[in-house]
Chain A
Amino acid sequence: MFNKDIIVEIFKEIAKTMDENKALLTELDAAIGDADHGINMTKGFTAVKNKLESIAEEDCSAILKTVAMTFISTTGGASGPLFGTAFLKASSSVVGKDALSNDDLLLLFESAIKGIQMRGKAQKGEKTMLDSLIPAYDAMKKSLDIGDSLIDALNKAEIAALEGVEFTKTIIATKGRASYLSERSIGHQDPGATSCYLILKTINNVLKNRESLVE
Chain B
Amino acid sequence: MIGIVIVSHSSKIADGVVELCSQMAHKNLKIIPAGGTKDGAIGTDSIKISEAIIKADEGDGVLILVDLGSAILNTEMALDFLHDTIKKRAIIADAPIVEGSIAATVQASISNSIEEVKLAAEEVNGFKKIN
Contact = CB atoms under 8 A, between A and B. Distances in A.
Interface residues on A, range: 10 to 19
Interface in B21-60: 36-38, 41-47
A131 interface: no
Contact of A76 (B44, B68, B77): B44
Nearest to B71: A78
Interface residues on B, range: 10 to 19
Given A76-B41, A119-B77, A177 B69 contact: yes
A81 B76 contact: yes
B69 A76 contact: no
A176 B69 contact: yes
Contacts of B74: 80-81
How would you classify the secondary structure of chain A's contact residues: helix, strand, loop or mixed?
helix
A143 B9 CA distance: 42
A80 B73 CA distance: 9
Residue among B38, B45, B73, B76 with most chain A CB within 10 A: B73
B113 interface: no
B68 A72 contact: no
Given A36-B43, A73-B47, A84 B77 contact: yes
A72 B45 CA distance: 8
Given A72-B47, A73-B47, A119-B76, 16 more contacts: A72-B46, A72-B77, A73-B45, A77-B70, A78-B69, A80-B43, A80-B46, A81-B46, A81-B73, A84-B46, A84-B77, A119-B73, A119-B77, A120-B73, A177-B69, A180-B68
23 contacts: A40-B43, A72-B47, A73-B38, A75-B43, A76-B43, A76-B44, A76-B45, A76-B70, A77-B43, A78-B69, A78-B70, A80-B43, A80-B46, A80-B73, A80-B74, A81-B73, A81-B74, A81-B77, A82-B73, A84-B46, A119-B77, A176-B69, A180-B68
Interface of B: 9, 36-38, 41-47, 68-70, 73-74, 76-77
Interface of A: 34, 36, 40, 72-73, 75-78, 80-82, 84-85, 119-120, 176-177, 180
